[in-house]
Structure 1
Amino acid sequence: MKRPSLRWATALIATALASHAWADAGYPEQLHIGYQKGNSLVLLKSRGTLEKALAAHHVQVSWHEFAFGPPLVEGINAGSIDLGFVGATPPVFAQAGAAPSVAYVGYSEPYADNYAIVVPAHASARTFKDLKGKRIAVAKGSAGEYLLLSALDQAGLGLADIQESYLGYSEGRAAFERGDVDAWVVPDPRLADTEISSHARAVIRARDLPAQYSFYIAPKPFAQQYPKVLATVLEQLDATEQYAKAHPQEVAKLLSDDTRVPLPVWEKALARQPWGVHYPLSEQVLKQQQQVADTFYRYHLLPQPVKVAEAAVEVKP
């Protein structure tokens, strides 16, 4: 049997290399994104613009759905997920616990009218102070719990002045509708849903309290090694949010189909959604997030104090 010619062997190697395009320098071959239903990552996934933006750098994108935040944070800490989106509290608890690899890389606009403490339509309470001595449902360790603690601080009250009931969102809604609790701390779209279905009334909203942001997080080693790919994702996310702002009906329909939440609920929620994705973290954002950490520690809900700035990675294109 004749040995293959040098020309033939060279062509064979070239074909093999072409079938496996290596990622450009400074880019990973794979980008694993963790997401939950109902947020901007879902919109980005549906549009396909990220895949197009990264194709030039030979980066493959994979999407991994999570039912809620803690497993997503665990995936980030373990390095199996490269980017995710969470509220203000999960990174704080991660930094104070056993998840030192979780890093902040970007942030959204702060909550405004889309997070509130609500009471039934017939309730006599008109302000948050009127809830003194009342039972309030809140998800433990959530952005809502920080909202509640901030409301207590602003009113000059403490945890001893209310009856805090730790309930998940589904259990919280059921307890609220049965009258087992007097108030409920809830974000959109659940907030919009209960306002429409039961005419619940807000006694205080997030815009009336210290700013609270949500964050894009990544494993710190990944963020330090691949800032360019994260910058691309965040830029595409901001473009997606600006698109959503300009096309609310289209986006409401997509999210309604994705979550099975009624279309009017998403229409109400999106009408008051603060749009915008930013990076790197500004001094003001770091300061506000440090206030979140300090508040949870002051209320003995964190095992140790943390310095938020130590978990921030400055992502640049």
Structure 2
Amino acid sequence: MRGLSKRLGLALLSTALLLGGCGDRSEEAGKVSRQPVDSGKLKLGYSGSSALIGLQKRGDVEAKLAAHSQSVEVQWQRFDDDAALFRAIEEGRVDIGAVGHAVPALLHREDAPLVYLAAEPANPAAYAIVVPLDSGIFTADDLIGKRIASAPFSNEHLLLLQTLGSAGLSERDVLLAPLAPADTLRSLEGREADAWAVAEPELSRIEPLGIRIIADGTLSAAKRDIYVTTPESLKGREALFRLAVDAIGEYDDWMLAQIHDAAELLSGLTGIEHAGWLASFERKSYGTAPFLASIAKEEQQVADTAAKLGGRKNGIDAQGFIRAWMPE
């Protein structure tokens, strides 16, 4: 009976912590009221210390649109995490944003159709659950009863769910602590949790503190970011969106070809050291690709896995979101 009470207490506290950080995960968490589309603006969003901050600084999207006589104002918005960015996309406050592909699967509301524009490469090494080197946690089995910090409803969150599942555990067996990715270093320095589910570039930022990886993205269905919009934002602006996605892809190519220049640029914008960005580039590749059949199949797998583990009543049709774009 005492064990049951403990598990119930963990479940209630975990739920309170998680929902307090991001709101109800359910697809029934209120109807979506989308803002009208402003055809004179292209609103781009990114979260945390995303490498897209370098694209904003360089002005490549603006230059690309101007070169093709697209006279729109480009606006950039930063969000603390992917969940907040995704909600902004759903509500029409952002036109295009890159989020982990577990995010729509966990948070999408049924009355808010989406369009999947492009996918980054799969990056399993870019996601990990870590502990300090002096921790007594060595495997997923050791996580029971522990406090685990993670960005809610993210790829890292899904990795945590699948890691717990591999040990016969669930969210009810741990304490979940919502964490904005950019606060990971401070959280680890202050030992505010027992373990952290993290992604690049924060994984490389905290590595010098001394960490042990107990699980990585190879355990998870969620291994990439995707670019997302809405049918309303896209309608009549397909050429504009293609130019923007092309500019993002060209910037990604530049980063991979000029890693030291990219690391220097991003270091000055994020506070992550040059060496940290170089380490991040080793774990995470960049680029934009259409949703080929293999990627489309993976997207549906992520959606189905997240629905099952995240407690959704209904899954999402990732294939439908992909068909709504169908780049040439």
Larger Rg belongs to: 1
Which residue of structure 2 lines up, in the alignment, with residue 42 of structure 1? Answer: 53
Report the secondary structure of 2:197's partner residue: strand
2:57 and 2:176 mapped to 1: Cα distance? 39
Which residue of structure 1 lines up, in the alignment, with residue 102 of structure 2? Answer: 89
The answer on whether the counterparts of 2:149 and 2:195 sit within 8 Å (CA) in structure 1 is yes
Which residue of structure 1 lines up, in the alignment, with residue 260 of structure 2? Answer: 249
TM-score w.r.t. the length of structure 2 is 0.76
2:57 and 2:187 mapped to 1: Cα distance? 35
The answer on whether the counterparts of 1:44 and 1:50 sit within 8 Å (CA) in structure 2 is yes
Determine if the alignment matches structure 1 residue 305 to structure 2 residue 318: no
Relative distance call for 1:45 and 1:135 in structure 2 (3 A) is closer
Determine if the alignment matches structure 1 residue 119 to structure 2 residue 147: no
1:154 and 1:286 mapped to 2: Cα distance? 25
Letter in 1 for 2:304: D
2:222 and 2:44 mapped to 1: Cα distance? 27
Letter in 2 for 1:54: L
Report the secondary structure of 1:113's partner residue: helix
Relative distance call for 1:60 and 1:290 in structure 2 (3 A) is same
The answer on whether the counterparts of 2:51 and 2:266 sit within 8 Å (CA) in structure 1 is no
1:36 and 1:133 mapped to 2: Cα distance? 30
Relative distance call for 1:207 and 1:238 in structure 2 (3 A) is farther
Write the mapping of 1:159-178 to structure 2, written as runs, cut at 5 A: 159-169=171-181, 173-178=185-190
User: RMSD of aligned C-alpha atoms?
Assistant: 2.7
How far does residue 108 in structure 1 lie from its aligned partner after superposition? 0.8
Relative distance call for 1:41 and 1:190 in structure 2 (3 A) is closer
The answer on whether the counterparts of 1:76 and 1:101 sit within 8 Å (CA) in structure 2 is no
Alpha-carbon displacement from aligned partner over 1:44-94 (angstroms, at most 9, x marks no partner): 333333333322233324122223344433443343432111122332344
Report the secondary structure of 1:305's partner residue: coil
Q: How many residues align?
A: 287
Letter in 1 for 2:105: V
The answer on whether the counterparts of 1:36 and 1:42 sit within 8 Å (CA) in structure 2 is no
Which of 265, 270, 290 lines up with 2:300 in the alignment? 290
How far does residue 40 in structure 1 lie from its aligned partner after superposition? 4.1
The answer on whether the counterparts of 1:34 and 1:81 sit within 8 Å (CA) in structure 2 is yes
Which residue of structure 2 lines up, in the alignment, with residue 236 of structure 1? Answer: 247
Which of 263, 270, 273 lines up with 2:274 in the alignment? 263
Which residue of structure 1 lines up, in the alignment, with residue 286 of structure 2? Answer: 275
Write the mapping of 1:87-236 to structure 2, written as runs, cut at 5 A: 87-96=100-109, 100-169=112-181, 173-196=185-208, 198-236=209-247
What are the ranges of 5 or more consecutive residues in structure 2 without an aligned counterpart?
1-38
Alpha-carbon displacement from aligned partner over 1:202-261 (angstroms, at most 9, x marks no partner): 111113433422111112133343322222222222221111011111111111111223
1:163 and 1:80 mapped to 2: Cα distance? 32
TM-score w.r.t. the length of structure 1 is 0.78
Letter in 1 for 2:160: L
Letter in 2 for 1:311: F
Which residue of structure 2 lines up, in the alignment, with residue 314 of structure 1? Answer: 325
The answer on whether the counterparts of 1:227 and 1:315 sit within 8 Å (CA) in structure 2 is no
Q: Could you tell which deviates more after superposition, 111-120 or 89-98? A: 89-98
The answer on whether the counterparts of 1:256 and 1:266 sit within 8 Å (CA) in structure 2 is yes
Identity over aligned residues, as a percent?
25
Q: Could you tell which deviates more after superposition, 241-250 or 296-305? A: 296-305
Which residue of structure 2 lines up, in the alignment, with residue 54 of structure 1? Answer: 65
2:87 and 2:175 mapped to 1: Cα distance? 31
2:184 and 2:247 mapped to 1: Cα distance? 35
Relative distance call for 1:111 and 1:102 in structure 2 (3 A) is same
Q: Could you tell which deviates more after superposition, 119-128 or 249-258? A: 119-128
Letter in 1 for 2:103: P
Report the secondary structure of 2:125's partner residue: coil
2:149 and 2:70 mapped to 1: Cα distance? 47
Relative distance call for 1:184 and 1:243 in structure 2 (3 A) is same
1:67 and 1:245 mapped to 2: Cα distance? 25
Report the secondary structure of 1:185's partner residue: strand
Q: Could you tell which deviates more after superposition, 152-161 or 257-266? A: 152-161
1:205 and 1:309 mapped to 2: Cα distance? 26
How far does residue 166 in structure 1 lie from its aligned partner after superposition? 3.4
How far does residue 29 in structure 1 lie from its aligned partner after superposition? 5.1
